[in-house]
Amino acid sequence: MNPRTRMVRSAVIGALLAAMAAVHAEEENPPTGFTDTPRLPNSQWRVHDDNRPRPRIVAPGTSAMNEHSGNPPSDAIVLFDGRNLDAWQSDKGGPAGWKVEHGYMEVVGGSGEIATKQKFGDYQLHVEFAEPSPATGKSQERGNSGVFLAGLYEVQILDSYDNYTYADGQASAIYGQSPPLVNASRPPGEWQTYDIVFNTPRFADGKVKSSGFVTVFHNGVVTQNHTPLLGPSAHHALPVWKPHDLLMPLKLQDHHMPVRFRNIWIRPIADQ
Ligand code: MG
């Protein structure tokens, strides 16, 4: 075989191997996101962009901050202490439809979002949650719930332990906007923590004056660092600002999956 034929043959074999590897990679990680959604403002990425890099995985370790804290700070407003849903109501009005047992509350699929009776502006929020175990479903259909700050801005809850999905939809993402800095998820069935600092957006004359900001520690690991909001969370669409009051209820999402919650408390930040 002359050198030219050998070169062509090895190029063809190389291309075939690359194509086979690409097909294999696609089979292992089928597309979970989108390539036809609108581009986020001032970003190279689209909403739920399938090409957006997935955050690297960090084992959260065991610092004091990420162990379930037991007793909240003395000035905290306790929203759930494992006994009842007195601080909550259904988003649709009427009593909250989730079940309470064994010191936790659990989403009852189809019963709707639950919202705090009390309204809040800027705050520090502590939430503990556990994903269904054993895990079922894939991508967004695996342990999906959410913490809706001001009832509008979702810090995603998802079983992101060994679960491939689009970057801005995994646990601790600002859903549809900002992926977490890292993936600090614990396995399904284990209790996990979100510690959130929320500065609610400000509006004047029907326009946004301050976007609002979100900081999140997931299991004690910072995953959102004073992240500016782009508007209310939306699926498959760009967020669009809607002016709202300074004080708004906090909501938890019913995404038809039995995610559990315990030990939820909030500390409004003074001078708002
Ligand atoms: Mg969700």
Is residue 174 scored above 60 in pLDDT?
yes
Tokens at 166, concatenated: 């689009």
205 Cα: distance to centroid of ligand 1 (angstroms): 31
Domain ranges, residue 148: 52-268
Q: For the chain, what is the domain count?
A: 1
Q: What angle do CA 262, 267, 272 make, to 5 degrees?
A: 145
Residue 71: the pLDDT is 87
The whole-number average pLDDT for the span 67-79 is 84
Residue 93 confidence (pLDDT) above 90: no
- Residue 65, pLDDT above cutoff 60: no
Distance 221 CA to ligand 1 centre (A): 20
Binning pLDDT at 50, 70 and 90, where does residue 22 land? very low
Report the alpha-carbon angle 36-37-40, nearest 5. Answer: 135
Residue 118 Cα to ligand 1 midpoint, Å, equals 22
Q: How far is the CA of 236 from the centre of ligand 1 (A)?
A: 13
Q: Examine residue 187 and state whether it is found in any structural domain, yes or no.
A: yes
Distance 245 CA to ligand 1 centre (A): 23
User: Is 12 among the domain residues?
Assistant: no
Can you give the pLDDT at residue 223?
Answer: 98
Q: What is the CATH number of the domain that holds 189?
A: 2.60.120.560
Cα gap 272→231, rounded to integer Å: 20
The burial class, CB within 10 Å (0-12 / 13-18 / 19+), for 7 is exposed
Q: What is the mean pLDDT of residues 36-42?
A: 94
Could you tell me which residues are beta bridge partners of residue 222? 217
Position 34 in a domain: no
Q: Running DSSP on this structure, what letter comes out for residue 167?
A: G
Residue 170 Cα to ligand 1 midpoint, Å, equals 9
**Ligand 1 centroid to residue 197 C-alpha, Å:** 19
pLDDT of residue 18: 54
**Count of other CB atoms within 10 angstroms of residue 29:** 11
Q: 217 CA to middle of ligand 1, Å?
A: 17
Q: Give the pLDDT confidence score for residue 133 in this predicted structure.
A: 97
What percent of the chain has a predicted confidence (pLDDT) above 90?
A: 83
**Residue 214 placed within a domain:** yes
The residue with greater pLDDT, 7 or 106, is 106
CA 108 from centroid of its chain's CA atoms: 19
Q: Report the separation in Å between the CA atom of 139 and the middle of ligand 1, taken as the mean of its atom positions.
A: 11
In this prediction, residue 12 has a pLDDT band, given cuts at 50, 70 and 90, of low
Ligand 1 centre to CA of 47 (Å) is: 15
Whether residue 7 lies inside any domain: the answer is: no
Section 36-48 average pLDDT: 95
222 domain-assigned: yes
Q: How far is the CA of 37 from the centre of ligand 1 (A)?
A: 19
Q: State both tokens at 52.
A: 């957006």
pLDDT category of residue 61 using cuts at 50, 70 and 90: confident
Average pLDDT (172-185) is 98
CA–CA separation, 183 and 160 (whole Å): 8
Q: Which of 152, 155, 175 is closest to 165 using CA atoms?
A: 175
Q: Separation of 180 CA from ligand 1 center, angstroms?
A: 14
The whole-chain average pLDDT of the chain stands at: 91
- The whole-number average pLDDT for the span 39-67 is 88
Determine the Cα–Cα distance for residues 114 and 97; give it in Å rounded to an integer: 8
185 lies in a domain? Answer: yes
In a domain, 24, yes or no: no
Q: Is the pLDDT of residue 8 over 70?
A: no
pLDDT, residue 5, reads 66
Find, among 128, 148, 149, the residue nearest to 72 by Cα.
128
